Every structure is written in C-alpha cells, then in structure tokens.
Structure 1
Amino acid sequence: MCSSRQILTILRETEDFRESSNELKIVQGIFNIQISFFIYRENYRLLKRNLKSNYNDIETITSNNQKRAHFQKKIIKDLHNTITSARSFLEYFDKEKSFLENDFHCFMKELRNYLVHQDHIPLISKLKYNQLEQKRFESFNTFFFNEYLDKQIEEYPKRNGLKKAKLFIHKIGNEPSLNEILTSYDEKLNEFYKKLIMNIISAYYTALKNLVQEINSLNIKLKNCNLNIDTHSPLTEAKLKYLKLLLKNKETA
C-alpha cells in the first residue's frame, strides 16, 4: 500500500513523462493516422454493406422504381462520404503526394465532385450466371462522367487531375463494376496506410522500444499504488498493446 506522498510522486512522474517525451508524441502521431483511416474504413464498410443489401433484394432490379431511387440516394451519400474521408486522410498524411496524385485517386476525387454537381450516379444492375451461382453487381456507366470531365478540362485546362481521371476511365472501360472499383481502391489505400505506419516504426524503432520499457516501468509503479493504468499511464493498456504489436511486426518483417 502506498502512502499519499508516494502516490503524488508517481502521479507527478507520469505527468512529467507525458509532457516531456518526444517518443510519446511520435506514438500519438501514429494514433492520429489510425483514427483518420478508421473514419474512412467505417464509411467504406457502410457503403459495401448497403451495396450487398441491395444485391440481395431482387425487387430493386426488377420492378420497384421507388425502391431503386431510394437505393441510389443511399449509395450517393455513402460513396461521397467514403471518398471524402479517404481524401481527408490522404491530404493530411500523404506528404509526398504519392497517392494523392495517381490516376486512380484522381478518378475517385472527380467522381465525388461529379456526385456533388449532378446528385446522380448512372448505375446499371446486372446479373451474371455460372454453374455455381447467380452473381449480381452494379455496373457504373462512365459515359456521362466522361462528358462531365471533358467540360471540366475545357474550363480548367491546367488541372492535371482531370486528365488523370480520364486516363483511368480508359483503363477500366465504359461499364466497370462499382464493387470492384471500391474493393481495389480500398486495397491500395490500406496498403498505403500500413506502409505509412511501418515507415514511422522503422524510423524510430529503437526509441519506441525504449519508450515501451519506460512505460512498463511506470505502469508497475502505478499498479503497486493501486492506481488505474488507463486513467494515469501515458498510454492506455490497449494502445500499449498495439504499439508492442507494431514493433513485433517490424521485428518479424
């Protein structure tokens, strides 16, 4: 059992550590990246979930125009939120603009702008059959989007992103699967996110290993005084566990 004096001493020690540790600021930067990516991922999951729900409801493809109009509105909202949150993540963390300026992201960015201006996305529900299953998907008709890009290029000839978006359309064709576009974009964004995190871990590996040891030492003192770790430690137990996992992944990479 700790005395009041001992409790005040360990609390002061943890507070001083929290304010002075540069390594702790690096870890906070990692969690800022994680939170921003989480916001995008939640929007993406909702969009995929609503698409899947629509695929399972054959009525929206055969007879119920009102239901399909409602589905279109939901998809427009979810698609806009997904692309906007992805762009927010990239604008803040893609310092070298390696992802921001590639033709895939330029296509997604301009698709979001198109949705804002047109409040419509030309989707065509299709069915594919094989020996095992019937597969339904939403095909994205790029004709009107292409026309929109042509007008934008004419009005803003110096915006290279518009030309890159058109270049990407040439790659995917006139009626690509919306689901495949979204899945591919998420895979590339997830790859960028993981690389971003691991680059930080690699750059500060030794310092972060030492940070874990220092926090473990502080946590032992907190526990000895029956003080809650998540309340008083510089890192909650969940965050410390995640940091240890990142360091372990670096060791086994």
Structure 2
Amino acid sequence: MPQFAANLSMLYPELDFLDRFEAAAKDGFKAVEYLFPYAFAKEELAARLQHNGLQQVLFNAPPGDWDRGERGLACLPGRGAEFREGMASAIDYAVALGCPRIHVMAGLVPEGLEREAVQPVYVDNLRWAAAEAAKAGRDVLIEPINTRDIPRFFLNRQDHAHEIVDMAGAPNLKVQMDLYHCQIVEGDVAMKIRKYLPTGRVGHIQIAGVPERHEPDIGEQNYPYLFDLIDEVSAQSGWQGWVGCEYRPRRGSEPGGTSAGLGWLRALQQRA
C-alpha cells in the first residue's frame, strides 16, 4: 500500500488549521502536506508535528499575491528578486520542519506573452532555486496543473515537466505528479505512472477524484487499480515517495466529514 499524507489545506476544513494535525494523526496518517506554512511560526508547526508523531513531507514556496490570483512567481519576468526572497523563506521553513520537499508553483503566463517567451525565465529560476535548496539537502518540485482549475498556468503536462527538469540539469529538481490534474489534461494515467516513476524524477504524487476533486473513490478514475500499480512499479524501481491526499471532502465542512470519507483508505488497510 502506498504511503499517504493528509493535505491539511483541504482536509478537516471544519477545524482551525493547527487543530488539523491532531485530527490527521487520529485518522492514522503518519505524514502531512499543505499549501503554505508562512502564516504560522516555525516553532508552532514543528511542535504540532512532533506532538502528533507526524512528518512534514511537502509545502509550497511563496506564490506571490495569492489573494489577488497569483499562482507562483517562477515564470514571471521581472519578479526574480521576490522569487529568491520567497525561496529563502521556504528553505528556512523546510529545515525547521524537517521537510525534504518544496513545491515551486510556476505561475500564470502573463497576458500578451506566450509560454515559450517566459520559459527561459522559469528554467533559470528553477536552476537557482534547486542549487540553493541543495545546500540545505532539500528537493525542489514542479507540478503540472490543469488549466480548467487555473487558467493560463504555465505548466500543464507531464512530458513538459520532465523536459524542464532536463533543461535545468539539477539532480534535486523533480516532478510532483498529481493524478487529478494528469487525468484532466492528458488521461492515460497508468501508462504515465509506468513511464515516469522508474526515472527517479518523480518526487511526490497527489490524488483526488475526477472531476469533482472529492475522495479518490468518487469519480471516473479507478484508484484501487492505480494504487496497486504504484505498489508494483515502486517494488520494481525502488520509488519510495508519498502520496498526498489533496482533495475536498465530499461532506465539506460537516463535523467529522473528512474522517467519514476515509472508507477508501480503510479498505486499502484491510487488504494490506
């Protein structure tokens, strides 16, 4: 059975954020991820992790002005200083929290420009970020995201992400393979797992049901099959990453809704 991490930005929405650590631990999770840690002191987050016996396995670098619609700075011309400042903060948090991976969101292609025009900026920023993260023993991840959820997002396809990794030439730059986004943009998810997991360039996987982004037992994807496939390919290739549960509970903010929706995980545990 894959290793699952609870995404605390989406799961347990009825609880205050800091209370979600305990809720995840009570549901049997051993690891967590979330979007951003920066609204909280490093010491407080570290204490929550330690108290609940949890590992921090992923969070995002600062994305720019999130409330005004920015979704990353890495591909944006003229924002290099802000990108580097944010990356320094992300590395600081990653070290304090024992988190081995930092997701760097690409950003939106600026109006009036094409993807090809900003790709050199993106690659240069990633090369710099990976070099800085390597000094602290951390990986930098990039994630293809579908343009239905985030229109004009720079990076949308698995093959493009792996091309970018090749261009940057940094061994600690890897791909965050979100099977929800992959299904929406490309499909053929099983063959992409077979193709990319053995490369050693997939640093993390995320899941959600398609199309509503609810639990993985709701929607068009056959996740039990995909989980077995991840196990199979991992056994053959030595992949040992985490699978982040980045979905919106179908019961929303109903008290206990996240826990009630974990039947898919309990079924896997009974099979294991």
Structures share fold, TM-score greater than 0.5: no
Bigger-Rg structure (1/2): 1
Output the TM-score relative to the length of structure 2.
0.28
Q: Indicate the structure whose relative CO is greater, using CA pairs within 8 Å and at least 6 residues apart.
A: 1
Output the TM-score relative to the length of structure 1.
0.30
Q: Which has the higher strand share?
A: 2
Q: Which has the higher helix share?
A: 1
